[in-house]
């Protein structure tokens, strides 16, 4: 094998991981929030007895079922990706990250999967209270899953608590708690989970807004839009604050990442400017056409206008992350964050004026922002994952030294297969979800019907197909 081949195989393996993880994360980003939303809806139904909440629960449960299935099948791919394409990493880091991932399976995946069947299909078999417990378990499972896998990711970003073994393996040190609660973990956890809640809120809000534009008297659409806008108004500012905390933590532990985010090629001994926009040029080590606010970066990151800030000129060239990608991904994430805040504030004004349900432009804006959470989440991950390059275990193991001994054609062929299958299968799945969202939520919403056999029954248990077609006919 030539050097050229190996470089190709590495690049293809990196593209494959980036592709499969990005696609995968779209689904948990939605299902973490949606599971909690469903638990809230069912809880409100049990508390108030209002059928409206049960209708909304059933409406979103159908969407959850599809989302969850896609999350599961794309997630299993991830649990094998470490071994197929990153076997050196698996061998070296297995003793530290393996147990955390095993805990994810034991405490989260089984919990979700074990109660999912009852959540989707068991309402009539176990009764409302046990069913509510199943919903809570699924929601808890999604959160616990995020806990463990983000602990793994955070350890790779800010590795502590390990020792280096004679065989080249990373081995657990004295305390597992040092490893689990590594320095970046708490910040990454709350920032990511909050992002999932916001992402879901904007999807729910967009669906509500869509149906309000068609029929502003639809009580179901009103309720979901109102709930989503409360989330936007209350959680978006919290998320901006959490993001800032996370950034400060990154500055402390991974300064090169923040330099790339800020586009600081040069050090600024007397206060660094905040570059709003520009085109980073890694060759020339400068940001072209930069629009900047003098000393504002020092103010944000150090709370002092004149605080000196080191730039990438203090980092060896072969330890610098790719600046352009990180710089832009960061701006996309932050821009969307402030856009979400804007919608949240707008909804407060609308609510105060009593126009929440009939302000067409607010509804259109909410629809436009519907998918924004996904974009922000992916942009955020690109910021943090590209920003920690060239390291896979920060400062200790280079990405280039972690890959499997595979030939480029093998990795290329599997990458192609993943791309084709993912776009086809998850594209179709997304279309099914959009089709479900297109239908207005209504009184007597049906559940996740499983069959179309047998005689036509009363509304609650009427089989799916016939009514679906009827309803589509009504809408046209």
Partner 1 sequence: MIDLTIIWAFIIAFAVFAYVVMDGFDLGIGILFPTFAVGPERDKAMNSIAPVWDGNETWLVLGGGGLLAAFPLAYAIILPATYPLIIAMLLGLVFRGVAFEFRWRDPAHRAFWDFAFTAGSLIAAMAQGMTLGALLQGIEVAGRAYAGSWWDWLTPYTLLTGLGTVAGYALLGSTWLVWKLDGEAQAHARKLAFRAAIATLALLGAVSLYTPFLEAEYFARWFTMPSILFASQVPLLTAIAVYFLFRGLAKGQDAVPFLMSLAIFLLGMAGLGVSMWPHVIPGSVTIWDAAAPYSSQMFMLVGVAITLPLILGYTAWSYWVFRGKVGDEGYH
Q: Is 176 near partner 1 (CB under 8 A)? A: yes
Q: How far is CA 468 from the centre of its chain?
A: 31
CA dist., res. 330 & res. 335, Å (int): 8
Binding mask 13-42 for partner 1 (x = CB under 8 A): ------------------------------
CB of 104 or CB of 320, closer to partner 1:
104
Backbone angles phi, psi at 309, to 5 degrees: -130, 125
- Interface stretch with partner 1, choices 89-97, 246-254, 264-272, 315-323 (CB under 8 A): 89-97
CB of 360 to partner 1, least distance (A): 31
Residue 280, φ and ψ in degrees, nearest 5: -65, 135
Rounded to a whole number of angstroms, the minimum distance from the CB of residue 396 to partner 1 is 16
The site for partner 1, by CB under 8 A, has a size of 89
Contact flag: residue 396 with partner 1 (CB under 8 A):
no
CB of 144 to partner 1, least distance (A): 11
DSSP string, 21-68: HHHHHHHHHHHHHHHHHHHHHHHHHHHH--HHHHHHHHHHHHHHHHHH
- Tell me the closest approach of the beta carbon of residue 54 to partner 1, in angstroms: 12
Only segment of 64-72, 226-234, 279-287, 310-318 that touches partner 1 (CB under 8 A): 64-72
Q: How far apart are CA 224 and CA 220, in angstroms?
A: 6
Residue 102 touching partner 1 (CB under 8 A): yes
Shortest spacing between CB 330 and partner 1, in angstroms: 32
Phi then psi for 165, rounded to 5 degrees? -80, 165
Q: What distance in Å separates the CA atoms of residue 404 and residue 445, rounded to the nearest whole number?
A: 50
User: SS3 for 279?
Assistant: strand
State how far the Cα of 86 lies from the Cα of 391, in Å rounded to an integer: 13
CA dist., res. 46 & res. 38, Å (int): 12
Angle of the 323-352 helix axis to the 219-253 helix axis, nearest 10: 140
Residue with tokens 């400017």: 273
Tell me whether residue 300 or residue 425 sits nearer to partner 1 (CB atom): 425
Q: Is 105 in the site for partner 1 (CB under 8 A)?
A: yes
Q: Which is nearer to partner 1, 148 or 357 (CB)?
A: 148
Residue 127 binds to partner 1 (criterion: CB under 8 A): no
Interaction residues for partner 1, span 128-157 (CB under 8 A): 137
Residues 6 or more apart from 26 whose CB is under 8 A from it?
Answer: 374, 377, 378
Q: Which of residues 277-336 bind partner 1 (CB under 8 A)?
A: none
Quote the tokens at residue 190: 């709350």
Nearer to partner 1, 179 or 336 (CB): 179
Of 32, 35, 56, 123, which lies in the binding site for partner 1, with binding defined by CB under 8 A?
123
Task: Please tell me what DSSP assigns to residue 317.
Answer: G
Binders of partner 1 among residues 425 to 464 (CB under 8 A) are: 425, 428-429, 432, 435-436, 447-454, 457, 460-461, 463-464
Euclidean distance between CA atoms 336 and 188, whole angstroms: 18
Q: Which of 120, 156, 193, 312 binds partner 1 (CB under 8 A)?
A: 120
Question: Interaction with partner 1 in 69-88: which residues (CB under 8 A)?
Answer: 69-70, 72-77, 79-80, 82-84, 87-88
Which residues 6+ apart lie within 8 Å of 444 measured at CB? 51, 55, 459, 460
Contact 197, 235 (CB under 8 A): yes
Residue among 172 and 186 whose Cβ is closer to partner 1: 172
Residues in 194-253 that interact with partner 1 by CB under 8 A: none
Q: Which is nearer to partner 1, 304 or 407 (CB)?
A: 407
Strand 286-293 to 274-281 pairing: antiparallel
Return the number of the residue (124 or 306) whose C-beta is nearest partner 1: 124
Under the binding rule (CB under 8 A), the answer on residue 404 touching partner 1 is yes
Comparing CB distances to partner 1, the nearer of 84 and 325 is 84
Q: Compare residues 349 and 456 and give the one whose CB is closer to partner 1.
A: 456
160 part of the interface to partner 1, by CB under 8 A: no
**Structure-block tokens of residue 53:** 């909440």
Please list the alpha-helical segments (H only) found in 370-461: 372-387, 408-438
């Amino acid at each position: 094998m030539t050097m050229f081949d190996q470089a190709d195989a590495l690049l293809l393996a990196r593209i494959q991981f980036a592709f499969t993880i990005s696609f995968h994360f779209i689904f948990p980003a939605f299902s973490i929030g949606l599971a909690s939303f469903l638990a809230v809806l069912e809880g409100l139904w049990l508390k108030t007895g209002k059928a409206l909440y049960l209708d909304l629960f059933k409406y979103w449960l159908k969407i959850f079922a599809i989302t969850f299935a896609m999350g599961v099948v794309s997630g299993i791919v991830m649990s094998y990706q470490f071994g197929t394409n990153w076997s050196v990493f698996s061998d070296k880091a297995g003793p530290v990250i393996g147990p955390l991932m095993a805990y994810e399976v034991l405490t989260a995946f089984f919990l979700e999967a074990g109660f999912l069947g009852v959540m989707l299909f068991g309402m009539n078999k176990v009764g409302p209270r046990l069913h509510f417990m199943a919903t809570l378990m699924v929601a808890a499972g999604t959160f616990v899953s995020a806990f463990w896998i983000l602990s793994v990711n955070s350890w790779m970003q800010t590795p502590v608590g390990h020792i280096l073994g004679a065989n080249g393996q990373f081995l657990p040190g004295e305390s597992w708690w040092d490893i689990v609660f590594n320095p970046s973990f708490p910040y990454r956890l709350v920032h990511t989970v909050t992002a999932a809640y916001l992402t879901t809120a904007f999807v729910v809000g967009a669906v509500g807004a869509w149906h309000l534009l068609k029929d502003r008297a639809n009580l179901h659409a009103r309720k979901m839009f109102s709930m989503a806008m409360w989330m936007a108004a209350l959680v978006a500012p919290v998320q901006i604050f959490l993001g800032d905390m996370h950034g400060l933590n990154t500055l402390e532990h991974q300064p090169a990442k923040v330099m790339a985010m800020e586009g600081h090629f040069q050090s600024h001994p007397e206060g660094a400017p905040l570059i709003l926009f520009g085109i980073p040029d890694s060759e020339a080590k400068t940001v072209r056409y930069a629009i900047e606010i003098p000393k504002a970066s020092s103010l944000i990151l150090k709370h002092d206008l004149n605080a000196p800030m080191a730039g990438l000129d203090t980092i060896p060239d072969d330890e610098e992350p790719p600046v352009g990608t990180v710089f832009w991904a960061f701006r996309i994430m932050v821009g969307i964050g402030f856009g979400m805040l804007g919608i949240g504030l707008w909804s407060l004004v609308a609510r105060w004026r009593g126009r929440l349900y009939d302000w067409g432009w607010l509804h259109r804006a909410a629809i436009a922002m519907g998918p924004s959470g996904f974009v922000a989440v992916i942009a955020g991950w690109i910021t943090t994952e590209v920003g920690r390059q060239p390291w896979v275990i920060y400062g200790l193991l280079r990405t280039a030294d972690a890959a499997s001994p595979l030939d480029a054609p093998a990795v290329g062929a599997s990458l192609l297969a993943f791309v084709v299958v993912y776009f086809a299968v998850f594209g179709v799945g997304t279309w099914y979800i959009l089709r479900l969202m297109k239908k207005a939520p209504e009184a007597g919403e049906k559940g996740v019907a499983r069959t179309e056999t047998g005689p036509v029954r009363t509304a609650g248990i009427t089989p799916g197909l016939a009514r679906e077609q009827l309803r589509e006919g009504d809408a046209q």
